[in-house]
Amino acid sequence: MSTAEYQAKWRAANRAHDLAYNRERRARLRELIREQDREHYANTREQHAEVARRWKLANVERIKLMDKAKLKVHRAIKKGLLTRPTHCSRCHAPGSIEAAHHDYTDPLNVTWLCRPCHRSWDAKEPKT
């Protein structure tokens, strides 16, 4: 019997143990990554703040346009013209849903996304 066959047979016979072990392993790995991220951010906080400050100074008009679009969406929700759904339109996750703008000059044309989907959508389809 090969090693692969033995391991497959063992996993089939000990499925609950194998699942619990892997769940614990993933939890430990997640915590390790979070700790590394915290340390990295603590060591580079000033650099991140400087990059953000320079971006804000270079994009004053864009920030104004973004703020106007957000305000128009907020007012449209209050007036009942737009309805914020309870689930993400991409992954269907419940929770806090954000209005993702296709174009800030058309502020009511939005896609409703959860924060992770909104971040990945913005990264894939940056607005000019």
Q: CA quadruple 20, 25, 29, 32: dihedral positive or negative?
A: positive
Residue 86 belongs to some domain of the structure: no
Residue 122 belongs to some domain of the structure: no
Residue whose tokens read 């013209």: 81
Q: Within 10 A of 99 (CB to CB), how many other CB atoms are there?
A: 21
Residue-wise pLDDT tens digits, 93-116: 998 999 999 889 999 999 999 999
Query: Given this model, what pLDDT does residue 108 score?
Result: 92
Query: Mean pLDDT, to the nearest integer, of 30-45?
Result: 95
Contact predicate 113/100, CB 8 Å = yes
Helix (H) or strand (E) holding 112, with range, is strand 110-114
Query: Mean pLDDT, to the nearest integer, of 70-78?
Result: 95
Residue 114 belongs to some domain of the structure: no
DSSP 51-84: HHHHHHHHTHHHHHHHHHHHHHHHHHHHHTSS--
pLDDT bracket for residue 32 (50, 70, 90): very high
Residue 7 belongs to some domain of the structure: yes
Residue 36 corresponds to which tokens in the numbers above? 């590394």
Residue 108 belongs to some domain of the structure: no
Query: Given this model, what pLDDT does residue 47 score?
Result: 95
Q: How many domains does the chain have?
A: 1
Domain boundaries, position 36: 1-58
Question: Any idea what the Cα angle at residue 111 is, between residues 109 and 114, rounded to 5°?
Answer: 150
Residue 91 belongs to some domain of the structure: no
Residue 2 belongs to some domain of the structure: yes
